[in-house]
Amino acid sequence: MSGLKSEAKRGMGIDIRPYVCGGLAAMVAESFTFPMDTAKTRLQIQGTSVQYKGAFHTIRTVISEEGILALYKGLSPALLRQAVYGTIKFGMYYTAKDVYFALYPNNPESNIVNLCCAIFAGSVSSAIANPTDLVKVRMQAKSLETYGNLLSVFVDIKRKEGVAGLWRGVCPTAQRSGLVAGVQLPVYDWTRLQLARRAIVPEGACCNLTASLLAGLSACAASNPVDVIRTRLMVQRKFLKGGKHNPGNKIYTSSFECCVSTVRSEGFAALYKGFLPSFGRMGPWNVVFFLVYEKLKFVF
């Protein structure tokens, strides 16, 4: 951990390693955990009519009804998203810390500083990458339309919903990513520091593994309600004038309306739909990411 702080105090020069290592590690982690992400998305969008009864039941049902490749629908935009979002988020987090310690070199590293840097990095990077996230969710959700490849989905959304349609759900997406990053990165840094400082776990892979699991659990618990709202907003379609629209589909006008409507019709627990597959994805995702990230950082 002292190494991270010493790097942050170097000066105003931008270190590109966190950007490169963060993007590559995020893409590797996404590839390993994507089927669980598909299960999470399917569980989050189902309402009072229950088709899926849990993460593993969802996976079995998808495989039996649509084939195993259906679990990987949306992988291409997911990897594209991580190439953009992961690269910017992790790079910007450490760059923001570099700038802070360059401006205030005598200030100690604190959880508040890490929290602010992480929220800033997470919300900005997710807003930029929102179109790729939207395409991923649409392809995973088995929407009414039959989507083809990555490019055809982008074109379809642009043609029927306009450019603004590519940023549907951007507010809850930025809020969720701000929450995830605001919990994930500071918890990982703090846990790794405490484990090493107190000699509870020796520094290295075991320390990184423990810290990444705790970071994943904390981030999942904090972000799941916003993730449910974000997913439901992204799945809905609001066509341009002259386009066809299914009147049976509820169109939410805001995150607040979606949240209130969900709680009223399905109960508060609905905001934690998909929590187990979400952690089943985020836990291993964090483990794979941080282990790969630390290794890449050492290599570079």
**pLDDT value at position 227?**
87
Its pTM stands at: 0.74
Whether 45 and 141 have beta carbons less than 8 Å apart is answered as yes
Quote the percentage of the chain above a pLDDT of 70. 88
| Alpha-carbon 173 to chain mean position | 8
> Any idea what the Cα angle at residue 290 is, between residues 216 and 215, rounded to 5°?
20
pLDDT value at residue 6: 41
pLDDT the model gives residue 198: 85
Amino acid at 220: C
What CATH number is associated with residue 181?
Answer: 1.50.40.10
Q: What is the full per-residue pLDDT of the chain (300 aa) written as tens digits? A: 444 444 444 444 677 888 999 999 999 999 999 999 888 888 888 876 778 888 889 999 999 999 999 899 889 888 998 999 999 998 999 899 989 988 988 888 788 998 999 999 999 999 999 998 888 888 877 654 556 678 888 888 888 888 888 898 898 889 889 988 999 889 998 998 888 888 888 778 888 889 999 999 999 999 899 889 988 888 876 655 555 544 445 678 888 999 999 999 999 999 998 898 888 888 889 889 988 998 898 887
> What range defines the domain where residue 293 resides?
2-299
Amino acid residing at 173: T
Q: What is the pLDDT of residue 79?
A: 93
Ordered DSSP codes for 186-218? HHHHHHHHHHHHTTSS-TTHHHHHHHHHHHHHH
**pLDDT for position 289:** 92
How many distinct structural domains can be found in the chain?
Answer: 1
Cα gap 244→106, rounded to integer Å: 61
User: What is residue 241's predicted lDDT score, i.e. its pLDDT?
Assistant: 52
pLDDT of residue 31: 93
pLDDT digits 0-9 by tens, 135-166: 888 887 765 455 667 888 888 888 888 888 88
Residues 6+ apart with CB under 8 A from 272: 224, 225, 228
Gap between the Cα atoms of 138 and 147, Å rounded: 8
